[in-house]
Amino acid sequence: MQQHELIPHLFRTEYSKIVAVLCHSFDLKHLEIAEDIASDTFLKAAETWGIKGVPENPAAWLYAVAKNKTKDYFRHNAVREKQVKETIRSNNVETEPDFEFTHQNIADSQLSMIFSVCDGDISPDAQICLALQILCGFSVEEIANAFLTNLATVKKRLQRARAVLRNGNFHIKTLVETEIKTRSDNVLKTLYLLFNEGYFSKTNNQLIRKDLCSEAIRLTSILVGNALTNTPQTNALLALMYFQSSRFDARTDEIGEVILLEDQDKSLWDNELIERGNHYLVNAFHGNEVSKYHLEAAIAYWHTTPTPERKWENILTLYNQLILIEYSPVTALNRTFAFAKVYGTEKGIQEAEKLHLNNSSPYHSLLGYLYANLDIDKSIDHYEQAIALTNSRIERQTLTKEVERLKRR
């Protein structure tokens, strides 16, 4: 990886770890202190690596610099009770923080951090926005796309959430079972949105952003690895992530354009990841709970199995259950695709047009696909509307090629 690509990649994967460990280790009541130290660490990396070259272990270098900058902060600033835990005395300048960026410390810190951010005094949507920004490194634009909302709304949510943390004596708590139960839904939704943005990115020139997906899997695996958070829903979400990740190499061609499921080279599917998905899906059904993650994981399971009889009937049944649990335009469109597979394209078109999602690029893409063998002019018209509505360069390229193919016919 080139240096100009490495630092943004490390910022995505390591920044949140540094912030979490600093907050967890010193009970910093002002999140901004940890964020400033982490930001300064990356600024120093950009300056130093440009002159001396990239170190052999870049992540370890970042951790070492962050640790030294933290010591400098405590050594050269007046230590106040509102900034650090009471056990560090303001008149004892020789007291320095002692901590390590071990795998376990990072895992424990991030697990505690994400639950602490999901504070009951913050609205659920704002909790998720804040967690996506702090724990996952999302930009405001990425959060807006994940929520299908505008930038101004996201900015207001973040401002209000950060104000609550500043005014509420924020600190990372040891996980308590009752708090985990009340906050776990928003934690899982945050990780779900993180994975989805990586799986089908709308804010990047890549359709798939494996770094986001890998981070979502890593954080969800931390939850599964903790007895308090190893729940059926968490296992179902992790199963979903592994099933979806198994098809990464088959989802795009050599120039990054999307390949539909039915056209994918199944030999490129990762069977090891499919087996992991199967493992966690089995674990997810220990009990009577059936959540949206169970249903989506089960749908993904059917997509990754050799084509059996009644595959699409099973998938449609699962979508029918899913849409009753939590309606969304994306779920409705996916259900309509499965409906067309079961009942034919003409009935699929009728079902799609009932949705009236005229301002949605995926809606017009679906209609373009369904009309392709029935009415080429209508198909082209819908594809062109989809092109006009998407923000993804890769998606525009893929749809434009489909329009050109139809015109040649």
Tokens 């069977």 correspond to: 271
Q: Who's near 71: CB < 8 A, 6+ residues apart?
A: 96, 97
Kindly report which listed range (61-65, 151-155, 255-259) carries the lowest average pLDDT score: 255-259
Task: Please say if the pLDDT value at position 350 is more than 70.
Answer: yes
Tokens 């020139």 correspond to: 205
Distance separating alpha carbons of residues 235 and 223, to the nearest angstrom: 9
Task: Please say if the pLDDT value at position 343 is more than 90.
Answer: yes
φ/ψ of residue 244, rounded to 5: -65, -40
Task: Please say if the pLDDT value at position 2 is more than 90.
Answer: no
Q: How far is CA 213 from CA 52, 145, 257, 390, in A?
A: 32, 16, 18, 22
Distance separating alpha carbons of residues 160 and 166, to the nearest angstrom: 10
Average pLDDT over residues 163-180: 73
Per-residue model confidence as pLDDT tens digits over 86-121? 544 444 444 556 678 888 888 788 878 888 887 777
φ/ψ of residue 46, rounded to 5: -60, -40
68 in Cβ contact with 61 (< 8 Å): no
Kindly report which listed range (85-99, 112-126, 212-226, 259-273) carries the lowest average pLDDT score: 85-99
Number of H helices, E strands in the chain: 19, 0
Distance separating alpha carbons of residues 195 and 323, to the nearest angstrom: 20
Task: Please say if the pLDDT value at position 52 is more than 80.
Answer: yes
φ/ψ of residue 87, rounded to 5: -70, -15
φ/ψ of residue 252, rounded to 5: -130, 155
Distance separating alpha carbons of residues 212 and 241, to the nearest angstrom: 11
How long a stretch of residues is the chain?
A: 409
* Percentage of the chain lying above the pLDDT 70 cut: 88
pLDDT of residue 89: 45
Q: How far is CA 162 from CA 125, 136, 165, 345, 369, in A?
A: 13, 16, 5, 49, 44
Task: Please say if the pLDDT value at position 82 is more than 60.
Answer: no
Q: Who's near 169: CB < 8 A, 6+ residues apart?
A: 29
pLDDT of residue 91: 42
pLDDT of residue 312: 95
- Give the pair of three-digit tokens for residue 47: 């300056």
Distance separating alpha carbons of residues 319 and 334, to the nearest angstrom: 8
| pTM score of the predicted model | 0.80
Distance separating alpha carbons of residues 325 and 293, to the nearest angstrom: 10
Q: Who's near 90: CB < 8 A, 6+ residues apart?
A: 78, 79, 80, 81
Q: How far is CA 138 from CA 5, 132, 217, in A?
A: 17, 6, 16
Distance separating alpha carbons of residues 336 and 189, to the nearest angstrom: 24
Distance separating alpha carbons of residues 45 and 253, to the nearest angstrom: 34
pLDDT of residue 100: 82
SS3 252: strand
Residue 395 or 382, more confident: 382
Distance separating alpha carbons of residues 372 and 350, to the nearest angstrom: 15
Distance separating alpha carbons of residues 4 and 13, to the nearest angstrom: 15
